[in-house]
Structure 1
């Protein structure tokens, strides 16, 4: 039982890691871009995580942890910020390699504006919940920067497609984490609306996590070309 969260992490990264040597995607050749992207993003989200533990936004069930903690966070939670981003960016690259034609290119700006508007609306009504406030505030800042400030990198149409596909393993993995539960949420600090057992905010937490990783990944690749 104590290995549940660790096994989930291993399951998340196992196939993306093995398939990284696929001849068409050649994801292993891009590790020099994905590793710094994951590490930088991981530091930001670990600080976020530590803050949420202090604020009692969420906690971790010791029955499903091996008992190794660093700076107050379980080792498995730290691995989460390595395994999940790696798997998601792998999905992003596979889709780009196997399905280069992407109709979302026509609608990506409209989608971004829709999500920015959603962030503003939810912040207006839910700002008194810590998870809601920080989650949607962070997503608004990152999304607005990527779409309207950093105009040289145009990848959001590819990002949205990868995000939609990543929701499939998200529902499986996060479903386990929240149903067992491995992660225990304080409903006073969120909107207390769930899709199954998954808090509504988690969908946009994934979006923020994936967007920051993909942006940095694309940024490191663009620098290497210059």
Structure 2
């Protein structure tokens, strides 16, 4: 069905958008912070996506697309960088509001060091695969910057909790995209290891996408608080 990917996008954002007006979270009042974060991150990932599509790292099954293409990408793929980050940052904010106590705080640095080590290992073993190389290289840079250069505010313990929760809808959504399949991967450009039908790299693609969005979201929120003060 040609509307499959579009319907998946709509399904991803429907409940987060409707629940943005929840009286306790008031996520709609933070749109001025989240949408610039999504826009900046989206530009970076769209350039990445365009490059990977041209390099045949992945491709899109026309049987499940409406047929509208922009910049060489299906419309649905472009919408993906709006719907998924919005839903994930919504999860991040809801968890922070409803569950302010977070025991991951004392483990966040150790987790970051673990993931940084994993990035280095994946770059060593998978440097000859485009998806592995760019994916873990990007995550390494962003994670190292956020954890070791950014000293104004700390949020990684909140990020890791949101990432873990976001893996639940990730397995549902990405499961559909890779099982149908809507998105087709060239296994010559990844490690060839999958969790079900989902490439191993996709888990860390999500981490990098979410981390950049959350970091920018927190930056814009901090600047907004300073301007009000």
TM-score scaled by length of structure 2: 0.98
Aligned to 2:178: 178
Q: Please give the root-mean-square deviation of Cα atoms over the aligned residues, in Å.
A: 0.3
Distance in 1, matches of 2:103 and 2:150, equals 22
Question: Is 1:32 aligned to 2:32, yes or no?
Answer: yes
Aligned to 2:81: 81
**1:225, distance to aligned residue in structure 2 (A):** 1.3
Aligned to 1:212: 212
TM-score scaled by length of structure 1: 1.00
Distance in 2, matches of 1:13 and 1:138, equals 26
Output one character per residue of 1:112-148: Cα deviation in whole Å (capped at 9) or x when no partner: 0000000001100100000000000000000000000
Moved over 4 A (4+): none
Aligned to 1:149: 149
Distance in 1, matches of 2:143 and 2:172, equals 26
Note the 1:87-102 alignment, pairs <5 A. Answer: 87-102=87-102
Note the 1:28-177 alignment, pairs <5 A. Answer: 28-177=28-177
Distance in 2, matches of 1:194 and 1:121, equals 18
Distance in 2, matches of 1:153 and 1:45, equals 25
**1:153, distance to aligned residue in structure 2 (A):** 2.0
Aligned to 2:19: 19
Output one character per residue of 1:58-94: Cα deviation in whole Å (capped at 9) or x when no partner: 0000000000000100000000000000000000000
Q: Which runs of 5+ in 1 are unaligned?
A: none
SS in 1 for 2:141: helix
**1:210, distance to aligned residue in structure 2 (A):** 0.2
Distance in 2, matches of 1:176 and 1:49, equals 19
| Aligned residue-pair number | 226
Distance in 1, matches of 2:171 and 2:204, equals 13
